Structure 1
Amino acid sequence: MLDWLAHQRLDHAQRLLETTDDPIDTVAFRSGFGTATSLRLHFAAKLKTSPMQYRRAFSQLAVAGRGPRRAACDAD
């Protein structure tokens, strides 16, 4: 159950990073991680990157016209 919830939160954070320019603190709060530190730890563990690096690579704002390119998050 906790793995599923963490996966859902990470998926939501990915969508927010791709589609908004909200600060990382706001993304963390809106996706249920509470703090940017917690979000960064989950990103590092599951996606081997940081939220900021993920945004740079996959943001629809940064990759205009190419659509989202989402990284898969493995469910444990």
Structure 2
Amino acid sequence: MRRLGEPITLRELARHAGLSQRTLMRRFTEETGTTPLQWLLNARLGRARELLETTDHPVDRVARECGLGTAANMRLHFRRALDTTPTAYRRTFGSS
């Protein structure tokens, strides 16, 4: 969770777990019901939501800090997962 803002590959996750990529995929999916990369995307979206709710950081900065790269990429994932935009989400749930 501390490294969400960094690029993380399946190869790195497997190496860290001491497993082959294939075994990691199978075991992770069995345990969590989702793939490691989908889990990572959901964790990054959760972090982005938290930052949008609690900070006034620009959307570009939030995207970088949570590992989604750019504001455009973050908008795409927000639209797919939450059916809204980061700006609309902040207006609804932000603390200001």
TM more than 0.5: yes
Shorter-chain TM-score tier: 0.7 to 0.9
TM-score under structure 1 normalisation?
0.79
Compare the two structures and name the one with the higher helix fraction. Answer: 2
Structure whose alpha-carbon radius of gyration is higher: 2
For 1:58, the equivalent position in structure 2 comes to 93
Root-mean-square deviation (Å): 0.4
* Alpha-carbon distance in 2 for matches of 1:6, 1:34: 12
For 2:62, the equivalent position in structure 1 comes to 27
Any residues of structure 2 matched to 1:34-49 within 5 Å, and which?
34-49=69-84
**Structure 1 residue 60: Cα displacement:** 1.3
Provide structure 2 residue ranges, at least 5 long, that are not aligned to the other structure.
Answer: 1-35
**Paired amino acid for 1:53:** A
Q: How many residues align?
A: 61
SS in 2 for 1:21: coil
* Alpha-carbon distance in 2 for matches of 1:9, 1:44: 14
For 2:49, the equivalent position in structure 1 comes to 14
**Paired amino acid for 2:54:** T
TM-score under structure 2 normalisation?
0.63
For 1:68, the equivalent position in structure 2 comes to none
